[in-house]
Amino acid sequence: MSGSITVAASSPEAARSLGRPRPRSAPWADLACHGLLASLAALVLAVAILILFETARGAAPSISAFGFHFLGSTEWDPVADRYGALPYLYGTIVSSALALTLALPLGIGTAVFLAELAPPRLGEAVAFLVELLAAIPSIVYGIWGVFVLAPWLRSALEPWLVAHLGFLPLFRGFPFGIGMLNAGIVLAVMVSPTIISLSRQILLALPGSLREAALAMGATRAEAIGVMLDAARPGLLGASILGLGRALGETMAVTLVIGNTNRISASLLAPGATMASVIANEFTEATGKLYLSALTEIALVLFALTVIVNALARLLVRGATGARRDIAGAA
């Protein structure tokens, strides 16, 4: 290192460059860059506010006609102009919760393997393939759910569930193959790449001194991984909620496989509907003003729910980042 510096300093040009102060950018350039970036950030916020305003304005007739009763009613009668969003709110929450229940063990387990156990080259290759899954259009997942998953559920899994677990309300009914279970599995496959990718990055960002300290104190490999997971817990929770945010707003894939009925059923085998699927199915058929306004109010509720979930994920990820900095500083 000292030799290279001596050689560089022996050149007159290098000596002059070492003693010359670095040129500073002009003040107007800094101000212009700051103003441009601030304007772009403000534009994103303005677009979000505009979407919220237009959606709220379109939903105003429905809000005035039904009030909070809209969220608690199961009636959906376009002929009589009486609407309630409870079946669709229920279907959105149940299908997303089922997807997260199925995707969490798969996502966290795969992320732990790629970050902690797999050889680096294999981990990078598998992570690249996992991220490619997120680029597949949702309509492709929906077609897979209709033509591949639904026949298998109808002929194999759902009859087994009815025969062995039919005493539970969750698995009663006729094995249609199309319903809440199918939608939950398709959503789980769709959100798994998000959970795997983010969880892997969070585990890789943790300081290696945590693992080394656990091993130095006599911990096994599994116990050392447990220490890493405990340190990454807020970040893993944030990744899970980001996956949940995608599941809440998914439209085409769910519309194809969920069955699209406005009935509430405790059985996962029964057809259902989500807020996104009812909008996709009926928006082009909404001829009446109140009918269109009711669908717009469902969109407003879905927008609010998605914003809340993503804001919560943002806070959790920020908290995890702060915790990692504290751990790194202490180390």
Residue with tokens 């039904």: 66
3 state DSSP class of 179: coil
CA pseudo-torsion sign 200, 202, 207, 213:
negative
d(C-alpha 97, C-alpha 78), whole Å: 29
At 142 the pLDDT is: 93
pLDDT along the chain (331 residues), means of 10: 45 51 65 88 92 92 90 88 92 93 93 89 88 88 94 94 91 90 94 91 86 85 87 83 86 91 90 92 86 93 86 70 54 53
pTM: 0.82
Query: Quick one: residue 179, left, alpha or beta (phi over 0 = left, psi -120 to 50 = alpha)?
Result: left
At 2 the pLDDT is: 44
Which residue ranges make up each domain of the chain? 83-330
Locate 7 and state its tokens: 């050689």
| Inter-residue contact 65 to 290 (CB < 8 Å) | yes
At 19 the pLDDT is: 53
Locate 161 and state its tokens: 């569930």
List Cα–Cα distances, 210 to 113, 120, 203, 219, 230, in angstroms: 17, 19, 11, 11, 11
Q: Which CATH number fits domain 83-330: 3.40.50.150, 1.10.472.50, 1.10.3720.10, 1.10.1740.10?
A: 1.10.3720.10
d(C-alpha 233, C-alpha 239), whole Å: 10
CA 252, 74, 309 angle in degrees (round to 5)? Answer: 50
